[in-house]
A = this chain, B = another copy of it.
Amino acid sequence: MSLEEKLHEIARLIRYYCLISTTSAGSGHPTSSLSAADLMTALLFGGVFKFDVDNPSHHNNDRLIFSKGHASPLFYAQWAAAGVLQEKELMNMRKFGCRLEGHPTKAFNFVEAATGSLGQGLSMGVGIAMNAKYVDKLPYNTYVLLGDSEMAEGSQWEAIQIAAHYKLDNLTGILDVNRLGQRGETMYGHDLSVYEDRLSSFGWETIVIDGHSMHEIHSAIEKTVHVKNKPVMIIARTFKGKGVSLIEDKDGWHGKPVGKDDLKNAIAELGEVDKGIIAEIAKPEDVRADTRNAEEIKAPSYDPGVSVATRKAYGNALKRIYPGYPDMVVLDAEVSNSTYAEIFKNEYPDRFFEMYIAEQNMAGTALGFSIRGKIPFVSTFAAFLTRAYDQIRMGQYSDANIKYCGSHAGVSIGEDGASQMGLEDIAMFRAILDSVVLYPSDAISTERLVEEMAGHKGISYIRTTRGATPILYDNQEEFHIGGSKVLRSSEDDSITVIGAGITLHEALKAYDELKKENVAVRVIDLYSIKPIDLNTLQEAAHATKAFITVEDHFSEGGIGEAVRSAITEMHIPVHSLAVRKMPRSGKPAELLDYEDISSKAIISKVRSLL
């Protein structure tokens, strides 16, 4: 049997699996799977793709991401053909408890990353390919299966431009142009020249093929290996539902399985299926990346009397801790001189990646690095991380290990005005499953918390402040995820004031003023907003009669609500001072006053509660 004949046989089996699994589930996307069945068959089983099926985490495996995650039946079917899954398990696809979920997730260990929100897979591929080319220096290739509908997402073009910029000749996109979107035709139908022209103009090599010709597909994949200094897109003309006349190239069949009554005919149309066929994937070369051992990290060293912006301490910390975390990479969206990621860049340029003003792709690329075992730190203005919320969200379904830093938090940035102020970032990051949200107030706690983030596995976020703030802590002080610090307390405390970041300094000012009036308040530095230090809050709730939270953030989803949720069963009111008026330009102190989150507002609130 020739290779082409064999590929046809395998594709037939894969189509069979796609049909039976979706009909069994009663939902799912067989048509979007069938259009790409030949593409994936020729890729996986044609000899170019290298993957050790007995060791899916092999360092030098080629990588495959289904950016069109709804083609999950195909994904599962191909691994079934490769002998990794049994037909019985396919028949449980989409059922509760089965690892074969509706869209690919990490529950199935051959999935590199969860997909299903379109237009994200290429960014992940960029991260994996950048890791191979620039960090691990391994010869593996990364392949991303893309749908034509999702090419409308801007994130695709962010990934496309960055892939070309970084000359990722180890990255191949396979664009399944099946003409039909969810509710009808795409913008360009089967006009492949549109994709060809655009991708060429963005610096990619393009190869246009008939996506159902095994010969053309195989030949295109072989060609990609020889392209140097740029990524390649294989642009394939395909038909949705290919191979089953009931559904082939028919509108109205997106996300619909063939009915039980029609299944027999559909399968018959495929021709005889050989379930015993051995579909083999070529093995990768057994090479590994050079790794460097972790070295001891020095303690931070700030003079106690100085003021340092926490954003600057973030940059200092990245540089300081890198020897202890040799898997670190740092990404920034063209503002490294504002986030101070540039301090790291200047010291370790090989581990810094300029991602330009394209936050979505930055987050997706970070996920790619994370998938390959790196520890990505990702920074931009807190406000602009909202741009990547969908990518951040999807990270939680991919076991992402990503450390986000949002600088320029809150109205305290001053003159630049509302558009630049991060005022919803805490809410955004809190609403990520098992996330960590940190908001330090001085350089030393920032340094220590950046270190904690590096050692923590998961999605964490640190919020930094534009302006310089006084050092509050000793260089040896310890800070932990889930911790807090009681900075002022006495047996006479009447009220507890809880701040973090810039507002903690306002709370301390308020403390000093109130002390003159013989009013004692407890002041807590809630540097870990999630997880939150329940014990310290409970103690304060027992000791004082009210809480005042004060935050440079909108009132919803921030510190006030985090505190309320933590102590909901305790009978203590939580008064929240937060940003509630339309933010504007002005001096930082003016804006803190205007929003009633300055020491004045705290003092006034305390007095009203005495």
| Interface residues, chain A, with chain B CB atoms under 8 Å away | 25, 27-28, 69, 94-98, 101-103, 105, 107, 114-119, 149-150, 152-158, 161, 165, 181-183, 186-187, 194, 197-198, 200-202, 334-338, 342, 356-361, 383-384, 386-387, 389-390, 393-394, 397, 415-420, 423-424, 427-428, 430-433, 530, 554-558, 560-562, 564-565, 568-569, 571, 573-576, 580, 582, 584-587, 590-591, 594
Least Cβ distance of A104 to chain B in Å? 9
> Bound complex: CA of A574 vs CA of B568, how far in Å?
6
Report the bound CA distance from A582 to B433 in whole Å: 7
Do B390 and A117 touch across chains, with their CB atoms under 8 A apart? no
Asked if A119 contacts B431 (CB within 8 A), the reply is no
Most chain B CB within 10 A, of A415, A569, A585, A590, is at: A585
* Smallest beta-carbon distance A75→chain B, Å: 13
Given contacts A103-B420, A153-B358, A584-B105, contact A556 B431 (CB under 8 A): yes
Query: Once the chains bind, are B420 and A431 in contact (CB under 8 Å)?
Result: no
Instruction: Name, among A334, A394, A560, the residue most crowded by chain B CB atoms within 10 Å (CB to CB).
Output: A334
The 21 sampled A-B contact pairs (Cβ below 8 Å) are A95-B586, A96-B594, A101-B417, A103-B417, A105-B584, A119-B357, A149-B356, A157-B157, A165-B187, A182-B337, A182-B338, A198-B202, A386-B389, A389-B390, A424-B431, A430-B556, A431-B554, A555-B565, A561-B561, A569-B573, A571-B571
Q: Could you say which residues of chain B place their CB within 8 Å of the CB of A107?
A: 584
Cα separation A149 to B333 with both chains bound (whole Å): 11
Nearest chain B CB to A111 CB, angstrom units: 12
Known: A27-B415, A153-B357, A161-B152. A556 touches B565 (CB 8 A): yes
Number of copies of this chain that the complex holds: 2
Contact of A560 among B94, B419, B565 (CB under 8 A): B565
A393 touches B397 (CB 8 A): no
Instruction: Out of B152, B181, B568, B569, name the residue touching A158 (CB < 8 Å).
Output: B152
* Closest Cβ–Cβ distance, residue A331 to chain B (whole Å): 13
Closest partner residue, chain B, to A97 (CB atom): B586
User: Which residues on the B side are within 8 Å of A431 (C-beta)?
Assistant: 423-424, 427-428, 554, 556-558
A335 CB contacts on chain B under 8 angstroms: 182-183
B153–A158 touching, CB < 8 Å: yes
Question: Are B416 and A424 in touch, CB under 8 angstroms?
Answer: no
Given known A-B contacts A118-B357, A152-B357, A335-B182, A96 and B587 have beta carbons under 8 A apart: yes
CA distance A558 to B25 in the complex (A): 32
**Cβ–Cβ < 8 Å partners of A105 in chain B:** 417-419, 584
Contact, CB under 8 Å: A155 / B154: yes
A158 and B154 in contact (CB under 8 A), knowing A149-B334, A383-B393?
yes
Measured between alpha carbons, how far is A294 from B565 in the docked complex, in Å? 46
Q: Are B573 and A357 in contact (CB under 8 A)?
A: no
| Residues of the B chain whose Cβ atoms lie less than 8 Å from the Cβ of A116 | 416-420
Interchain CA distance A565-B547 in the complex, whole Å: 13
B154, A358: Cβ atoms under 8 Å?
yes
A419 — nearest CB in chain B belongs to which residue?
Answer: B116
Measured between C-beta atoms, what is the minimum distance from A186 to chain B in Å?
7
The verdict on A337 contacting B183 (CB below 8 Å), with A152-B358, A416-B27 known, is yes
A433 proximity list for chain B (CB < 8 A): 554, 580, 582
Complex-state Cα separation, A345 to B243, whole angstroms: 32
Shortest CB distance A356–B (Å):
4
A361 to B590, CA, bound (A): 35
Is B571 a contact of A415 with CB atoms below 8 Å? no
Q: Which of A25, A557, A587 has the most CB of B within 10 A?
A: A557
B584 touches A383 (CB 8 A): no
For A95, the chain B residues whose CB sits under 8 A away are 585-586
A96 to B416, CA, bound (A): 11
Nearest CB on B from A519, distance (A): 20
Contacts of A342 in B (CB 8 A): 183
B394 with A419: CB separation less than 8 A? yes
Q: Assess the A561–B571 pair: CB atoms within 8 A.
A: no
How many Å lie between the Cα of A358 and that of B118 in the bound state?
Answer: 10
Q: Which of B198, B200, B201, B420 contacts A102 (CB 8 A)?
A: B420
In the complex the two chains form, what is the Cα distance from A334 to B186 in whole Å?
A: 9
Taken together as a complex, chains A and B put the C-alpha atoms of A118 and B335 apart, in Å, by 12
* Chain B residues with CB below 8 A from A415, complex form: 25, 27-28, 94, 102
In Å, the complex CA distance between A225 and B155 comes to 32
Known pairs A105-B418, A397-B582, A568-B574; list 12 more (Cβ under 8 Å). A107-B584, A116-B416, A116-B420, A152-B356, A161-B187, A186-B356, A359-B390, A387-B390, A428-B431, A431-B557, A431-B558, A568-B575
Minimum CB–CB distance for A344 against chain B, Å: 13
Residues of B within 8 A of A115 (CB): 419
Q: How far does the alpha carbon of A198 sit from the alpha carbon of B158 in the complex, in Å?
A: 13
Chain B residue with the shortest CB-CB distance to A252: B337
Residues of B within 8 A of A98 (CB): 585
Q: Which of B150, B155, B383, B576 contacts A117 (CB 8 A)?
A: B383
